[in-house]
Amino acid sequence: MTLSTLAEIMIIILLGMGSQWISWRFQMPAIVVMSVVGLLAGPIFGLIHPEDTFGDLFKPLISIAVAIILFEGSLSLSIKEIKGLGRPVIRIITVGALISWIFGSLAAHYVAGLGWAVSLVISALFIVTGPTVILPLLRQSKLKPRPSKILKWEGIIVDPLGALLAVLAFEVIVVLTNGTSDSSRLVDFFLGLLFAGFLGWACGRGVGWMFKKGYIPEFLKSPIVFAIVIGCFTISDEIKHETGLLAVTVMGMTLANIGIPSIQDMRHFKENISILLISVIFVMLTASLSMDTLFDIFQPGIIGFVVLMLFLVRPLSILLSTIRTDLTLGEKVLVGWIAPRGIVALTVSSYFASILLEEGYTDATIVTPLTFALVFFTVCAHGFTLEPLAKKLNLSIDDQPGILLVGSNAFTLSLGQFLQKLKVPFTIADSSLGKLEKVKKADLPFYHGEVLSEQTEHSIDMTPFEYLIAGTDYDSYNALVCSTFIPEYGRNNVFRLSVEEGEGETVKDLKPTIGGRVLFEEHYSLTKLSDAVENGFKFKRTPITKQYSYKQYNQDRSEKEIRLFVLKNTGALEFFTPDSDVKGEEGDIVISLSPPDEE
C-alpha cells in the first residue's frame, strides 16, 4: 500500500514525537530512540520513504531545519555564560578541531581505505558534534555547569566550522589537482566566508535595532525572526555553499549578546520548535537510508575507523588541546569521550559524496555508510554512557531533585533546614539582604539577587532544581515568578504560597493557566505557615510501610497537622495542593507540619 504525502508527513511527526515521549518515559537517550524508530519505519519495514516522497524538496527542507536548530542553539551562547571557561573552549574549537582533523584523516586513509583527498574532506566534516545531538543529551543528563557549557559551546560553534573546513579542504584539493589557474576558488571561498559572517552580524544587529525601537509588534517577533533566519541562511548558502550555517550562528550569537529582553521571551518557543524539527529530521534521515547502506557499515574498515574515532582521535584531541588549562582530569575525560555526530554530518556528507564522485574520486562511494556508522555508533555509545560516566567522575548533579525557594521568611528558613536533613538540594533566593540574614547565620545555601533578572542564570546553577516555590509577601510577584519559570520547570512543578488579604498584595481570581499552582491548601497562607513555625510547629516525617498504610496515616493525623509533600521512594517530590490527589505508597515518606503538643 502506497501512502499519500500527507499520511507520510503525519507518520513522521508522530514517530518523532512518540520517540521523544518514549525517551522521557523510560529515561533513554532521545536521539537513539529516534534513530532506531527511523530505521524500523524506513529501510527495515518500508513503511515510509521520505526522500522519494519529498523529492527535490528533501534536502532544502533538511537544510532549513538545521539552520533553525543551529540558530536556536546559538541564541543561548551568551559570553557571560563561559566566564572562566573561555580558554578551554577556544582551545577545543581551534587546536582540538585541528588535531581531530589530522588524526581523523590518518584513520580514514589507513584504516577505512579512503584516498587522501576524500579522507581530508570527510574528516574535516567529522569534527562536528552539533546542537542536534548534544543539546538533547544535555537536556536529559544532569551534568554540572562546567562540562555542560563546554560541550554546548563546542557543539554549536564547531558545527558550521566543520562544514566550512570540509569546503576549504575540497577547494584546496581541486586547486592542487587542477593547477594554479583555479586558485581563484580559494579567494572566492574566503570572500564567501567573510560575507557570511558579516551578513549574520548585520541580521542580528538589525533585528536587535528593530526590537529596541519597537518597529515589530510582539505577535510578529517570532515569525519575522524565523523569516530573517531562513533568508540569512539561504542568501549566504546561495553565494557560497555551506556558509549559511556560519551566517545563522553569527546571527544568533549577536542577538544573544546585545541584551534584548524579547529574545529571552522567544527562546522557549524556539526550543519547542527545535525539538519538533530534530525529532522529524532524525526520523526522515534514518528512514531514507537503504538496506545496502546498513550492510555496508559492517565492513571491517568502517568499523575500525569508528573505533579509532571513538577511543583514540577524540580523547587525544581533547587531552592535547586542553594542556595547561584549568580543566580537571575528570572533565577532560568526560569531554574527551562525548562527541556524538548528528544531522549536519549526515546531510553535508551526502553533498560532498556527490561532488567528490563528480570529480572522479570513486572511493567516495563509502562516504555515506561511513558517516552513518559514525553517527549511529557515537549516538548510541555516548547517549547511553554520558550519565553513568558523569556520575562515576563526580560531574553530575545528585539524582535527588531540588527546590528553588523564592522568598526568605520564617517558613522557608525552617523548610530549608529540614530539607537539608532530608538531603534534598535547595537554595533560598531573595533580593533583600536583610531578609537573608537569618539564612546566612543558619549556614544554608542562598542567592542574593533578583531571580527574574537575566543575570540569575549566570550567577546561580539551576541544574539541581526541578521544583520552584514562590513564597514572598506579594501575590502578584509570586505569580510573575511562577509564570516566568513555568517553561523551565513545567506547570506541575511550579508553586506559589497564597497571601492573606491585608498581608501584602493578593491576586484575586487568578486564572489557573498563569501564576503557578497554589501550594498546600489555600487557607494555609504564607502568614499562617510562618506563624505555625514560630509557634513551635515541627516538621514531621511519617514513613509509609506495609504495616502503616497511607490510609491509616490520614485516619490518625490530627486536624491541625499540615500536610506539605510526599518524598517518593524514587526521590521525586509530590506536593499537596487544592487540586492534587497525592497518594503515599509503601516506601514513601509523608512530610508535614505537626503541632508542638503532638509527636
Closest CA to 455 of 264, 314, 288, 283: 264
DSSP string, 103-121: HHHHHHHHTS---HHHHHH
pLDDT, greater one: 274 or 374: 374
What is the structure's pLDDT at 1?
59
DSSP string, 120-166: HHHHHHTT---HHHHHHHHHHS-B-HHHHHHHHHHHHHHHHHHHHHH
pLDDT, greater one: 302 or 473: 302
> What's the whole-number mean pLDDT along residues 98-125?
93
What is the structure's pLDDT at 251?
93
Joined grid coordinates for residue 158:
564547531
What is the structure's pLDDT at 267?
62
What is the structure's pLDDT at 250?
92
- The per-residue pLDDT for range 588-599, each reduced to its tens digit, is 999 888 887 765
Instruction: Evaluate if residue 502 carries a pLDDT over 60.
Output: no
> For all residues of the chain together, what is the average pLDDT?
85
Closest CA to 186 of 198, 174, 201: 174
What is the structure's pLDDT at 132?
72
**Residue 507 CB coordination number (10 Å):** 18
What is the structure's pLDDT at 155?
86
Instruction: Evaluate if residue 9 carries a pLDDT over 60.
Output: yes
What is the structure's pLDDT at 569?
84
What is the structure's pLDDT at 315?
95
> Which one-letter amino acid corresponds to residue 339?
A
DSSP string, 292-339: HHHHHTTSHHHHHHHHHIIIIIHHHHHHHHTTTSS--HHHHHHHHH--
Range of weakest confidence among 219-233, 273-287, 458-472: 458-472
**Residue 31 CB coordination number (10 Å):** 29
Share of the chain above pLDDT 70, in %: 91
Instruction: Evaluate if residue 271 carries a pLDDT over 80.
Output: no
> What's the whole-number mean pLDDT along residues 566-582?
85
What is the structure's pLDDT at 180?
53
Q: Which domains does the chain have, with CATH numbers?
A: 5-15+25-40+47-54+78-392 (1.20.1530.20), 402-594 (3.40.50.720)
CA distance 1 to 8: 12
Joined grid coordinates for residue 24:
522521557
Share of the chain above pLDDT 90, in %: 27
> What's the whole-number mean pLDDT along residues 525-541?
87
Instruction: Evaluate if residue 119 carries a pLDDT over 70.
Output: yes
- The per-residue pLDDT for range 65-101, each reduced to its tens digit, is 888 888 887 887 777 766 777 889 999 999 999 999 9
- The per-residue pLDDT for range 435-454, each reduced to its tens digit, is 899 999 999 999 888 888 76
What is the structure's pLDDT at 508?
53
Cβ 192 vs Cβ 171: under 8 Å? no
What is the structure's pLDDT at 460?
73
What is the structure's pLDDT at 504?
47
Instruction: Give SS3 for 468.
Output: strand
Instruction: Evaluate if residue 457 carries a pLDDT over 70.
Output: no
> What's the whole-number mean pLDDT along residues 475-501?
83
- The per-residue pLDDT for range 314-328, each reduced to its tens digit, is 999 999 999 988 899
Instruction: Evaluate if residue 509 carries a pLDDT over 70.
Output: no
Q: Strands (DSSP E) along 181-309, which ranges? A: none
pLDDT, greater one: 220 or 487: 220
CA distance 516 to 428: 18
- The per-residue pLDDT for range 152-174, each reduced to its tens digit, is 888 888 888 888 888 888 888 87
Instruction: Evaluate if residue 530 carries a pLDDT over 50.
Output: yes
Q: How confident is the model at residue 18 (pLDDT cuts 50, 70, 90)?
A: very high
Instruction: Evaluate if residue 221 carries a pLDDT over 90.
Output: no
What is the structure's pLDDT at 103?
95
Instruction: Evaluate if residue 540 carries a pLDDT over 60.
Output: yes
